[in-house]
Each structure stands twice: as C-alpha cells, then as structure tokens.
C-alpha cells in the first residue's frame, strides 16, 4: 500500500544539498573576506590621515559583508547561531544587567536542579524574581547543568520562586534558553509532564507581572514551563519551537538529515513568530549575533525588560490577569487567518 510522501521529503535531495552548499560557500567566502580585511587593517596602522580613512573604509566594508551574510537567514541557520559556543548564557546576563543576585535553591521535595537558576535580583530600578535556564559554559558545568535541560524539580523550583515573588509583590523575569526538558527516564518517573503543566496553569494566574525573554534556544515544553507571561520577546537570532528541527525531521521523516527543511517549516525564527503573534517583540542583536558583542546584547535585553516592567507594574492585578488570559486565548488566531486566507479570499476576516 502506498503512502503519501511527507512534506519534508518533497524535493529533499536537491533543496537540502543546494541550500547547504550555498550557505557553507557564502560563510566560507565571508570568512576569507573578513580575514583579508583584518589583515590589511593590521598592516596599515601608522596613524596618518590616509591610513585612518582606509581603516574606516575597511570597517564599513566588513560591516556590509557581515550584514549581507546575516540578512534573511533561514530557520536552520538561525538554530546554528542560537547554539553558537560563544553566545552569552544566563549567567553572563546576570553578571551584566543585575545587581545583588541572591540564589534560591531546591524544590523542597527532591533536590536542586542546576539547569534552572532562580533568585532575587535588582535590574535597573526594579527588584525582580529572576528565573531562567542556565546551560553552563565549561564542559564540567554544562554536564552538571544538564545543558540547560530541566528536570521536574527544576520546574518546581521555578514555581516556588514565582509564588514567592507573588507573595512579596515582585515581578518575574524569565530567561529561556534550553533545547527542551530533560528526556531521561528519571525525569518522567518524577512527573516532568505534570510539573510543566502545573507551571503553565500557575503562571497564567500569577498576580504579578511576568516578562519572558528567549535568549538562544526555546525548545518544546522545557521552554514553555517558564514561558507564560505578559510580555514575550526573542533575541533576533534565537529560536522558539514546539520541537527541535532534528526531532521534527526524525519523527516525520525518520531521517534527521531533513532538519534544514524542518527548521523552515516550523517557522521558528523571531521574525516568523512576531508575524504570527506568538511573541510581542524582537530584541535586536549586534551585527553577526550576540556572541560578537555580549555587552551590547545585554544592554538591549535590559532595555526591553525595564521598559516592560515600567509599563506592567502600573497595571492593577485584575486587569493584568484579564489581559494575560486574553493574550493566551488568542495566540492561535493568526494561524486560523492564514488557513482561511489560503482557502480563498472570501474567507479572510472570518476570525474576530
């Protein structure tokens, strides 16, 4: 009996290999150009006016080449940038944009999951409860932090911190950066699904402002477990998805080699999710990604958070919850509009 081909398999060989070759070739040429420009800039450094003009010209050309390479990047290229080894992680942002951080540990039930970091902090003029995934930087730290993949006790620790924030009238700032919840047997035995579901319910009715920022990877239930808020933003080269491209390709095609097509079809880029109404804002990154200038990236994140908190803290709790519920109930409206528009012009505008 024949079966319908998966949409990911359509013209897979030509599309995948062609796109992959073009991207790798473009990056290779860009790297060569950058090395050449940097070498020339290092050679002409006598401080004279012509030399200064030449260095300025080289810098402009370098910026244009980099901008061209990062313009209209694909979903899979976005995933690669989000996973860059030098990309700032939560601990970098804590150091850069907060003061007086006091960590809270443990879920008062099983243990302390290092994949989730939680604690009191001051950000700008706002005292907040900070929660987020912490991947770790060095290999030993990454292993101890489970590469940012939280166990049930991590989600329960996050919820304990949120409830404490509600009790003391502190806003919650949630930083998302995880491939997904920890997939091990122990995590399932200790109720990973229930812990995530409980967090979704409790965050939806938490009587204090919640601001969520996707720093790098926003994968599956691991991201959603601390991702319900009044304002949600993504860094330009972060991604946010119900599943990783590799996982999607493996399930639909039984072949992880189709991850590039999966990344595009999942619409995981910040610009796509903004168009669909899933996120509220896109936080611009330094040219070439946050790893090129972590301080600039941190300042942009801080600006978004402090502005959002200034707006939300003036909203009465009842109205805050009403607006949050309205936002959550209408998350799928744009998907419906796109489906109706595809069905025919006469169906546009059918969704209230």
Query: Which runs of consecutive H residues, i.e. helices, occur in the chain?
Result: 12-43, 49-70, 75-82, 90-97, 139-144, 152-168, 185-189, 192-204, 220-224, 245-253, 259-266, 270-275, 294-312, 317-329, 333-343
* Residue 118 belongs to some domain of the structure: yes
Both 194 and 258 in one domain: the answer is yes
Q: What is the pLDDT of residue 328?
A: 87
Indicate whether 63 and 95 sit together in one domain.
no
- Across the strands, what pairs with 128? 121
Cα angle value 125/129/291 (rounded, 5°)? 80
Look-up: residue for tokens 């998966």?
Answer: 6
Q: Are residues 18 and 150 in the same domain?
A: no
Q: Which residues pair with 156 in a beta bridge?
A: none
Q: Is residue 321 part of a domain?
A: no
With beta carbons less than 8 A apart as the criterion, state whether 174 and 227 touch. Answer: yes
Same domain, 290 and 231: yes
Given this model, what pLDDT does residue 41 score?
63
Q: Is 261 helix (H, G, I), strand (E, B) or coil?
A: helix
Query: What is the per-residue pLDDT for 72?
Result: 77
51 plus 91 within the same structural domain: no
DSSP H or E stretch at residue 122: strand 116-123
Give domain status of residue 42, yes or no: yes
3-state secondary structure of 276: coil
| 3-class SS of residue 167 | helix
Q: Do the domain assignments include residue 221?
A: yes
**Residue 311, Cβ neighbours under 10 Å: how many?**
13
Q: What is the CATH number of the domain that holds 110?
A: 3.90.226.10
- Residues 284 and 282: their CA atoms lie apart, in Å, by 6
Query: Within 2-48, where are the H helices?
Result: 12-43
Let me know whether 62 and 135 are in one domain. no
Residue 6 inside a domain? The answer is: no
Of 49, 71, 93, the one marking the end of a domain is 71
Asked whether residue 308 falls in the same domain as residue 250, the answer is yes
Considering the domain architecture, whether residues 64 and 208 belong to the same structural domain is answered as: no
| DSSP assignment string, 79-96 | HHHHT-TTS--HHHHHHH
Q: Say if 190 falls within a structural domain.
A: yes
- In terms of domains, do 160 and 134 share one? yes
Sequence-separated (6 or more) residues with CB below 8 Å from residue 206: 162, 163, 165, 166, 172
DSSP three-state, residue 11? coil
Is there a domain that residue 5 lies in? no
Calpha distance 299→56 (Å, rounded): 25
For 71, the token pair is 């313009």
- Which one, of 186, 200, 116, lies nearest residue 154 by Cα? 116
Residue 340 is predicted with a pLDDT of 65
Cross-strand partners of 170:
none
- How is residue 130 annotated by DSSP? E
Same domain, 166 and 117: yes
Q: How many domains does the chain have?
A: 2
Residue 306 lies in a domain: yes
Answer yes or no: are the C-beta atoms of 135 and 336 closer than 8 Å: no
Ramachandran quadrant class, 306 (left: phi over 0; alpha: psi -120 to 50; beta: rest): alpha
pLDDT of 329 reads 87
**pTM for the whole structure:** 0.80
As a residue count, the chain comes to 352
- State the pLDDT at residue 163: 96
- Same domain assignment for residues 57 and 108: no
Domain that holds residue 103: 85-314
Positions of the chain with pLDDT under 50: 1-21, 23-24, 351
CB 152 within 8 Å of CB 197: no
């Amino acid at each position: 009996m024949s079966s319908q081909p998966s949409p990911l398999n359509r013209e897979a060989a030509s599309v995948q290999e062609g796109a992959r070759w073009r991207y790798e070739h473009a990056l290779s040429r860009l790297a060569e150009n950058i090395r050449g420009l940097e070498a020339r800039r290092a050679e002409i450094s006598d401080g004279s006016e012509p030399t200064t003009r030449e260095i300025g010209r080289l810098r402009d050309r370098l910026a244009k080449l980099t901008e061209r390479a990062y313009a209209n990047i694909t979903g899979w290229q976005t995933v690669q940038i989000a996973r860059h080894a030098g990309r700032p992680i939560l601990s970098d942002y804590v150091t850069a944009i907060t003061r007086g951080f006091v960590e809270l540990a443990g879920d008062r039930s099983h243990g302390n999951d290092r994949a989730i970091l939680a604690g009191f902090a001051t950000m700008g003029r706002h005292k907040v409860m900070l929660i987020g995934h912490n991947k770790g930087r060095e290999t030993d730290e990454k292993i101890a932090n489970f590469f940012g993949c939280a166990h049930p006790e991590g989600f329960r620790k996050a919820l304990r911190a949120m409830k404490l924030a509600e009790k003391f009238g502190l806003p919650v700032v949630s930083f998302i950066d995880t491939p997904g919840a920890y997939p091990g047997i122990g995590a399932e035995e200790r109720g990973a699904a229930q812990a995530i579901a409980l967090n979704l319910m409790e965050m939806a009715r938490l009587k204090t402002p919640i601001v969520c920022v996707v720093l790098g990877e926003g994968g599956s239930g691991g991201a959603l477990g601390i991702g319900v808020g009044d304002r949600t933003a993504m860094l330009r080269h972060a991604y946010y998805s119900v599943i990783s491209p590799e996982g999607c390709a493996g399930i639909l095609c039984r072949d992880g080699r189709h991850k590039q097509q999966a990344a595009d079809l999942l619409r995981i880029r910040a610009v796509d999710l903004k168009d669909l109404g899933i996120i509220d804002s896109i936080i611009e990154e330094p040219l070439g990604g946050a790893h090129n200038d972590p301080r600039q990236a941190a300042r942009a994140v801080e600006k978004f958070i402090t502005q959002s908190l200034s707006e939300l803290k003036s909203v009465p709790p009842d109205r805050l919850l009403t607006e949050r519920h309205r936002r959550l109930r209408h998350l799928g409206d744009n998907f419906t509009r796109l489906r109706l528009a595809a069905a025919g012009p006469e169906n546009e505008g059918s969704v209230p």
